[in-house]
Structure 1
Amino acid sequence: MGNTQGTAQGRRLPLRPWSVVAAVGLALGAGALTGTGATARTGTAVPAAAAAYESSPVGFASLNGGTTGGAGGTTVTVTSASQLTDYASRSGSFVIKVNGSISLSSMTKVTSNKTIIGVGAAGKITGYGLNVANAKNVIIRNLTFTGSADDAINVQYSTNVWIDHNDLSNAYDGLTDIKRASDYVTVSWNRYHNHDKTALLGHSDDNGSEDLGHLRVTYVHNWFDGTTQRHPRVRFGNPVHVFNNYYGAVTSYGVASTCNAGVFVEKNYFDNVSHPTVIQTGDSPDGNLKADGNYLVGSGTVTTRNASSVASIPYSYSAESASSVKSSVTAGAGVGKVS
Structure 2
Amino acid sequence: MATRRRTLIAAFSAAVVAVGGSLVLGQSAAVAAESSPVGYASLNGGTSGGSSGTVVTVTSASALKSALSSSTSQTVRISGMISISGMYSVASNKTVIGVGSGSGVTGGGFNLSGVRNVIIRNLVFKNASDDSINLQNSTTNVWIDHNDLSNGYDGLIDIKRGSDFVTVSWNHLHNHDKSMLLGHDDGNGAQDLGHLRVTYVHNWFDGTNQRHPRVRFANPVHVLNNYYSNIGSYGVASTMNAGVYVERNYFENVAHPTVTQTGDSDPGNIKVLNNYKVNSGTEEVRNGASVAAIPYSYTPEANSTVKATVMAGAGTGKI
Q: What is residue 28 of structure 1 aligned with on the other side? A: none
Q: What is residue 95 of structure 1 aligned with on the other side? A: 75
Cα RMSD of the aligned pairs, angstroms, is 1.8
Q: Is the 8 A contact 1:17 1:320 kept in 2?
A: no
d(CA) in 2 for partners of 1:71, 1:187: 21
Map 1:107-118 to 2 at 5 A.
Answer: 107-118=87-98
Q: What is residue 332 of structure 1 aligned with on the other side? A: 313
Q: What is residue 180 of structure 2 aligned with on the other side? A: 199
Query: What is the aligned counterpart of 2:154 among 160, 170, 173?
Result: 173
Map 1:157-236 to 2 at 5 A.
Answer: 157=137, 158-236=139-217
Q: What is residue 293 of structure 1 aligned with on the other side? A: 274
Q: Report the AA paired with residue 265 of structure 1.
A: V
Deviation string 1:31-57 (CA, Å, 9 cap, x unpaired) is xxxxxxxxxx97656674993111111
As a proportion of its length, which structure holds more helix?
A: 2
Query: What is the aligned counterpart of 2:236 among 233, 244, 255?
Result: 255
- Range with bigger deviation, 92-101 or 45-54: 45-54
SS in 2 for 1:126: strand
Deviation string 1:271-327 (CA, Å, 9 cap, x unpaired) is 010000000000000000000010010000011110111010001122101110000
Inter-CA distance 105–231: structure 2 relative to 1 (3 Å threshold): same
User: 2:244 matched to 1:246?
Assistant: no
Deviation string 1:53-84 (CA, Å, 9 cap, x unpaired) is 11111100000000011034510100001111
Q: Is the 8 A contact 1:73 1:93 kept in 2?
A: no
Q: Report the AA paired with residue 109 of structure 1.
A: S
Alpha-carbon distance, 1:17 to partner: 5.3
Q: Is the 8 A contact 1:17 1:318 kept in 2?
A: no
Inter-CA distance 85–255: structure 2 relative to 1 (3 Å threshold): same
Q: What is residue 9 of structure 2 aligned with on the other side? A: none
Q: What is residue 78 of structure 1 aligned with on the other side? A: 58
SS in 2 for 1:299: coil
- TM-score normalised by the chain length of structure 1: 0.87
Inter-CA distance 44–172: structure 2 relative to 1 (3 Å threshold): closer
Q: What is residue 153 of structure 1 aligned with on the other side? A: 133
**Unaligned segments of structure 1, at least 5 residues:** 1-14, 21-40
d(CA) in 2 for partners of 1:46, 1:237: 28
Q: Report the AA paired with residue 255 of structure 1.
A: V
Q: Is the 8 A contact 2:162 2:195 kept in 1?
A: yes
User: 2:83 matched to 1:119?
Assistant: no
SS in 2 for 1:91: coil
Alpha-carbon distance, 1:203 to partner: 1.2
User: 2:34 matched to 1:54?
Assistant: yes
Inter-CA distance 139–226: structure 2 relative to 1 (3 Å threshold): same
SS in 2 for 1:107: strand
Segments of 4+ moved more than 6 angstroms = none
SS in 2 for 1:209: helix
Inter-CA distance 44–210: structure 2 relative to 1 (3 Å threshold): closer
**Unaligned segments of structure 2, at least 5 residues:** 1-12
Q: Report the AA paired with residue 309 of structure 2.
A: S
Q: Report the AA paired with residue 246 of structure 1.
A: Y
SS in 2 for 1:71: coil
Inter-CA distance 181–47: structure 2 relative to 1 (3 Å threshold): closer
Alpha-carbon distance, 1:124 to partner: 1.8
Q: What is residue 237 of structure 1 aligned with on the other side? A: 218
d(CA) in 2 for partners of 1:244, 1:50: 12
Higher relative contact order (CA 8 A, sep 6+): 1
Inter-CA distance 203–76: structure 2 relative to 1 (3 Å threshold): same
d(CA) in 2 for partners of 1:231, 1:127: 23
- TM-score normalised by the chain length of structure 2: 0.92
Q: What is residue 284 of structure 1 aligned with on the other side? A: 265
| Identity rate, percent | 63
d(CA) in 2 for partners of 1:304, 1:257: 10
d(CA) in 1 for partners of 2:29, 2:174: 28
